[in-house]
Amino acid sequence: MSRGPVAVQVEGICKRFGREQALADVSLTFTPGGFNTLLGPSGCGKTTLLRSIAGFVTPESGRILIGGEEVTRQPPWTRSIGFVFQSYALWPHMSVFDNVAYGLRLRKVEGRELERRVRALLEVVGLSSLHERAPGALSGGQQQRVALARALVLEPSVLLLDEPLANLDARLRVEMRQEIRRLQRELKITTIFVTHDQEEALELSDTVAVMSRGRVAQVGAPEDVFAHPASPEVAALLGGASFVEGVVSEEGDLIVDGARLALGLSPTLAGKKVRVALTAKRMAVVAD
């Protein structure tokens, strides 16, 4: 890669579709060169935000910066992005090779240089032998790889993925997400990944932004977010949370119905009656 990882930032993004407020004052700083995930249920605005960064959607207010440069009103074809669609959106009238090569051809890359770069990417995603095929003749997983190759061949500043694994079976999903993670680490490209699947978010991300109803509910490293949900809402979103009420002891334990739960709560809460969300991942059953 010719440049270092690129910073992506959004500030105060607002977007409305008709009467629906899809994004309400969203501000995020994405980790350069990192794997950033937008996590949330359907309708929370994560895809809209992704498409805004890509340029398919123009927000009413706010700023989008890629590499420090404001691109808010710039059309998608001028931004240095790679986009992987949930439906892959491979062009059915072009072969695998041509799908990947298209962007290069637009930039007047030709001949051997073109071949070299396309084949290199196909190699990276493991599809070298299929370059002649038509997309319709490929399996879902293979199509996905082509979509990835197409997005990456132009060495974009940021890679955007819109729930790319949603259409794959479980085994393939696990396989592919590991692939994606591996690629991302290797290329060190700033990546923004949209999903509603927590497992994916947990496994892949350097940073997770939990979104709900057009707003960012919480941002942080995945373990932090899962371990310490900032609000009941986030906890509920992350799923599998149980809520208990009790009183905090001086040592930071929670006293619930006479039982003592060592949760390491903040001593400043001592003596207060609190409500705690317990997520499944944090619990283990031990012998007495």
Partner 1 sequence: MTVGQRLRRDPWLLVALFLGVVLVLLVVVPQLWIVRSSLLARDGASLTLENFFRYLTAARYRTALVNSVLLAIVTTILAMLVAAPLAFFHARYRLPGRDLVLTLATLATASPPFLGAYAWIMLLGYNGLLSPALRGVGLPWHSIVGFHGVVWVGMWGAVGLVFLFAHDAFASLDQDLEEAAESVGARRWRAHLDIALPLAMPGLLTAAYLVLTGVLADFGTPRIIGGPVSVLPVLLYHEFLSEGGVNPGMASAGSLISVGLATAVLLLQRLVLAGRSYVMSGTRRVAQRTLPRWATMTVTLATAFFFVLVFVPHLVIAFSSFLSWRADIPGLPFTLDNYRMLALRSSKPVLVSYALSAISTLVAVVAGTLLAYVAVRRSYRVLSPSLQALTMIPYLIPGTVLAIGLIVVFNREPMRLTGTWMILALAYFIRKVPYATKSAEASLYQVHENLEEAALSVGATPAQALRDVTARLILPGLVSGATLTFLMTLTELSSTLMLYGAATTTMSIVIYQAAMGMGGQFGLAASTAVAMMVSVYVPLYLVRKRFPSSGVAA
Please provide the size of the chain in residues: 288
**Contact assessment for residue 172 and residue 164, using Cβ atoms and an 8 Å cutoff:** no
C-alpha to C-alpha distance for 179 and 124, rounded to whole angstroms: 10
**Contact assessment for residue 207 and residue 8, using Cβ atoms and an 8 Å cutoff:** no
Please choose, out of 41-49, 51-59, 108-116, 168-176, the segment that lies near partner 1 by the rule CB under 8 A.
51-59
Helix axes 96-106, 111-124, angle to 10 degrees: 130
Nearer CB in complex with partner 1: 3/77: 77
| In the complex, least distance from residue 157 CB atom to partner 1, rounded to whole angstroms | 12
Return the structure tokens found at 196. 């509603």
Closest CA to 184 of 212, 208, 156: 156
Contacting residue, 102, 109, 187, 233, with partner 1 by CB under 8 A? 102
Contacting residue, 5, 34, 45, 55, with partner 1 by CB under 8 A? 55
Contacting residue, 43, 103, 220, 252, with partner 1 by CB under 8 A? 103
Please choose, out of 31-39, 54-62, 204-212, 248-256, the segment that lies near partner 1 by the rule CB under 8 A.
54-62
C-alpha to C-alpha distance for 198 and 157, rounded to whole angstroms: 26
Is 112 a binding residue for partner 1 by CB under 8 A? The answer is no
Return the structure tokens found at 184. 């991302």
Please choose, out of 6-14, 16-24, 101-109, 222-230, the segment that lies near partner 1 by the rule CB under 8 A.
101-109
User: Under the rule (CB under 8 A), what is the footprint of partner 1?
Assistant: 54-56, 58, 73, 75-78, 81-83, 85, 87-93, 102-103, 106-107, 135-136, 143, 150-151, 154
